Amino acid sequence: MSSPVPTTEAGTAALRALLADPEGALVALDFDGTLAPIIDDPELASADPAAVAALARVGALIGTVAVITGRPARTAVRLGGFAGRPGLASMVVLGQYGVERWDGATDSYDIPPEPAAVRAAGEDLPAILERYGHPGARIEHKGRALGVHTRELADGRAAYQQLLGPLQELAGRHGLALEPGRQVLEIRAPGMDKGAALRALVAERGARTVVFGGDDLGDLPAFEAVASLRDEGVPGLLVCSASAEEDALRERADVVVEGPAGVARWLADLAVRLRTAS
C-alpha cells in the first residue's frame, strides 16, 4: 500500500524540490511517537525497526537526516540503534530540544552539564507527587530535564490534569519551563525548543528543502519554524504522526500518517521516489 502524498500546495512543492535536489534536503523527525511507539516505560521505547531502516535508506540519498527530541541524545541514539548504521553517516541527533548533540559521522557527543535548577526541582518533585496523591507517577531524570509520566497510573489522564498546575508552579519557582506532552509533563531549562534547533541545523547545513515530522505539542515550534522558512523561500514539508491521544499537528500537516508504522511506510516510499528520480 502506498503512503499518503501531500494534500497541500506547499507540501507538494516541497516534495518536488526535495526530489529535484536531494543533496540540499534535510529530513528531521521527532523520536517518541514518530520513530518510536509510545509505551508505558520510556526506557524501553525502542525505535520501530522498519522506520529506522527506511530512514537509513533516505539518509543514503539526501544531504542530512536528523532526529530532534526531548530525550537525552545518548538515550535517543541507543534506543534508535543509530550508531554505525549504514546510511546514517549524515545523521545528527539533537537531544534535550537541541541542547545536546550527536554526530553520526564521528560518533561524537556534545553534552553540556546538568543545570543546578533541574537538580533542585528534582529534589522537590517527589513531595509534590505525594501531596497530590500520585506518588506512583514515573519520574524520568534526563539530566537537563525531568519527565513526569502518568500513563501507568490507573487514573493517568486525570492525574495529568491535576498535576499541570503544581508542576507549572514548581518549574516557575526554579526558573524552568513546563512542556506538556502525551501523558508526560516535562520540566526543563528554558531557552531552546525544537523550532530553534531545526532552524539552526538548516542554517548550518545550508539546507535548501526541509522536512519535519512529529506527533506532539513539543513539536509545534518545529512546525512553526518550517512555516516561517517557507515564507523565507525554503520549501518545507510537514508530516504528522497521528494518534488518538493528540491531534494538535494534524491540521497543520501536509501529510498525515498513522504513528511510527505510518512514518516507516512514508519514509520507505520517499526512498523509492528518490531512487526513481536520480
Could you state, in order of their start, the residue ranges of all structural domains in the chain? 9-112+192-277, 116-188
- 9-112+192-277, CATH topology level: Rossmann fold (3.40.50)
DSSP state at residue 179 = E
With cell 505525594, the residue in question is: 130
Q: Are 134 and 229 in contact (CB under 8 A)?
A: no
Q: Residue 236, Cβ neighbours under 10 Å: how many? A: 28
Q: Which of 216, 224, 213 is nearest to 246 (CA)?
A: 216
- C-alpha distances (whole Å) from 2 to each of 262, 265, 267, 272 are 10, 8, 11, 11
pLDDT tens sequence for the chain (278 residues): 457 889 999 999 999 999 999 999 999 999 999 999 988 888 888 999 999 999 999 999 999 999 999 999 999 999 999 999 999 998 999 999 999 999 999 999 999 988 899 899 999 999 999 998 999 899 988 877 898 999 888 888 899 899 999 999 999 999 998 988 878 898 988 878 999 999 999 999 999 999 999 998 889 999 999 999 999 999 999 999 998 776 789 999 999 999 999 999 999 999 999 999 87
Q: Which of 120, 118, 174 is nearest to 143 (CA)?
A: 118
- 116-188, CATH topology level: Alpha-Beta Plaits (3.30.70)
**Cα distance between residue 185 and residue 81, in whole Å:** 26
